[in-house]
Structure 1
């Protein structure tokens, strides 16, 4: 269209004739050859611009393909991390079941047999009586150790009572271990019907955060918030868990020797969530995880596992 307009204007005003009259006195400078030269220059610039345009289009296509490939690899990485965590939790669940069903039952039988020996030898064989008491004490000790192992493998109450109750039990356990620290747990929202992967991720997040408190802030005030946004709100059911303390804090610019934060980040990001850390020396420590709601949709869950063996009973 621009070319047609230029041609019409040139034909109307006789541009070539005007140019000839203006340049005929400068024939010795060959100014009348400029139109052809400028045409070639314009054609060359147009070709160069077209080539750059095509190269930029190819570069955009390559970049878009690379971004899609990166997104695909990131999604695969998250899927593999999620499968690894699920496999790890499944193995822990299996070990908890085996400890309870197999080893626990045999220890219970040992305790009962030792109690029977104790009763039969109370008056006749003092040495056997003392030995049976020692066996019962050993069996009780092993039972307690197994109970502690099962609690680490599978959180108490998570399958039967849900995430909030399991959190309360976890915090109560840390209150007993750290009497100089104060703990405040706030739960807001509906946490029923979530997948096992989401429940265990949120629980392990709080568990690891409180483990850090026990290492670096044993006399601090700790606040734990577990919040789920309303389904019709701006975040549409997003789950947010925060653990903050007013302990000595840390300089995050320096490398840390432990792998606890790395494990937290892997678990949260495997579910498509966000993991944030904030701390300064002398200003406490803050850990925050934001998990999208779609990972909490119900699924077919694995049957619940007894998580704590019964205390051996003597006859």
Structure 2
């Protein structure tokens, strides 16, 4: 964790102890003392002449006693007010500390995701540039051996065909690894083209499902972190469809549009419009019970990716009622951080 992160041990202190029993005891003791004093010295007889007729019942001493009780209760209420203010200040400090720690955790999660995607990009390039060209050369050499050995060396011809098949198989496997590590066309053609290619791939894998992709707005100028996050959201959503709703109708909607920002109550800034990107995916599959515990981490990872960029992630589903998720992310997310 960075050095500027707050240390919980340095800012934590025990909550203030309740003084209600002690203060209440003081009120009762003072009230009893006032009653004894008034009874012994007939204080109220001198102050309240109209109560003299009730002296044989000692009820004429009640005004003084009630006066002391009223003052004691007022003091008791004042003590409770001060104690409540201290408790509120203490809780507010804890909430601010929790917000700082949550912000630090989200920043660390965002940095970890950036490092992961950067490593994936480098690995994909290495696989494509190094292994790809050598496999292509092996395939070409094997084809040359095959052509030269058609009539003269049948065994060499057979071995060369096996070598070509092995090279083609490894090349296809490496291509699949590259696509999983780094989406095809994301860097060259942009996010919309990469998503269209991704959806087309799932159309081939899931012929019983129907897919609809709608993209509106300009998606140029986004940070690499935001671009890959949006792609991974759709990719993870389609993966969930393949697991739980492989025969459903799936609709993917992505739009970039302005939204009115919420004004900070502690500042005097006026409301302003900010660009945000909304990604929505819905299917009419069997749905899930969101309150039930789940083993997978896909939805948790989606939420963490979005919230690490300062966005919001919401889900809605019920058994036999389909599944929907909606992510809202500021379009400027990740631009303040260096992108390699």
Please give the range of the TM-score, normalised by the shorter of the 2 chains. Answer: 0.7 to 0.9
Q: Give aligned pairs, total.
A: 287
Quote the offset at 1:278 in angstroms.
1.6
Q: Which position in structure 2 is the counterpart of 1:98? A: 126
Question: Aligned runs of 1:70-81 on 2, under 5 Å?
Answer: 70-81=98-109
Find the partner of 1:176 among 204, 219, 222. Answer: 204
Which piece of structure 1 moves more, 120-129 or 163-172?
120-129
Q: Which position in structure 2 is the counterpart of 1:55? A: 83
Does residue 123 in structure 1 map to residue 151 in structure 2? yes
Does residue 264 in structure 1 map to residue 264 in structure 2? no
Q: Which position in structure 2 is the counterpart of 1:110? A: 138
Q: Which position in structure 1 is the counterpart of 2:167? A: 139
Quote the offset at 1:103 in angstroms.
1.8
Higher relative contact order (Cα pairs below 8 Å, separated by 6+ residues): 1
Between the aligned partners of 2:336 and 2:204, the Cα distance in structure 1 is 34
Question: Aligned runs of 1:235-250 on 2, under 5 Å?
Answer: 236-250=274-288
Quote the offset at 1:61 in angstroms.
0.9
Does residue 221 in structure 1 map to residue 259 in structure 2? no
Look up the SS of the partner of 1:277 in the other structure. Answer: strand
Unaligned stretches of 5+ residues in structure 2: 1-43, 262-271
Does residue 295 in structure 1 map to residue 333 in structure 2? yes
Is contact 2:223-2:332 (8 Å) kept? no
Quote the offset at 1:235 in angstroms.
6.4
Is contact 1:193-1:296 (8 Å) kept? no
Between the aligned partners of 2:79 and 2:205, the Cα distance in structure 1 is 71
Quote the offset at 1:198 in angstroms.
1.0
Q: Which position in structure 1 is the counterpart of 2:8? A: none
Q: Which position in structure 2 is the counterpart of 1:210? A: 238
Unaligned stretches of 5+ residues in structure 1: 1-15, 303-315
C-alpha offsets along residues 275-298 of structure 1, whole Å, 9 cap, x if unaligned?
222222222221221223341547
Q: Which position in structure 1 is the counterpart of 2:290? A: 252
Look up the SS of the partner of 1:184 in the other structure. Answer: strand
Is contact 2:309-2:334 (8 Å) kept? no
Quote the offset at 1:180 in angstroms.
1.9
Quote the offset at 1:23 in angstroms.
3.4
C-alpha offsets along residues 142-179 of structure 1, whole Å, 9 cap, x if unaligned?
11111110000001111111111111111111111112
Quote the offset at 1:260 in angstroms.
1.7
Quote the offset at 1:121 in angstroms.
2.5
Look up the SS of the partner of 1:103 in the other structure. Answer: helix
Quote the offset at 1:231 in angstroms.
5.9
Is contact 1:193-1:298 (8 Å) kept? no
Q: What is the TM-score with the length of structure 2 in the denominator? A: 0.76
Quote the offset at 1:239 in angstroms.
1.3
TM-align CA RMSD: 2.5
Quote the offset at 1:99 in angstroms.
0.9
Quote the offset at 1:26 in angstroms.
4.6
Is contact 1:229-1:235 (8 Å) kept? no
Between the aligned partners of 1:26 and 1:179, the Cα distance in structure 2 is 99
Look up the SS of the partner of 2:188 in the other structure. Answer: coil
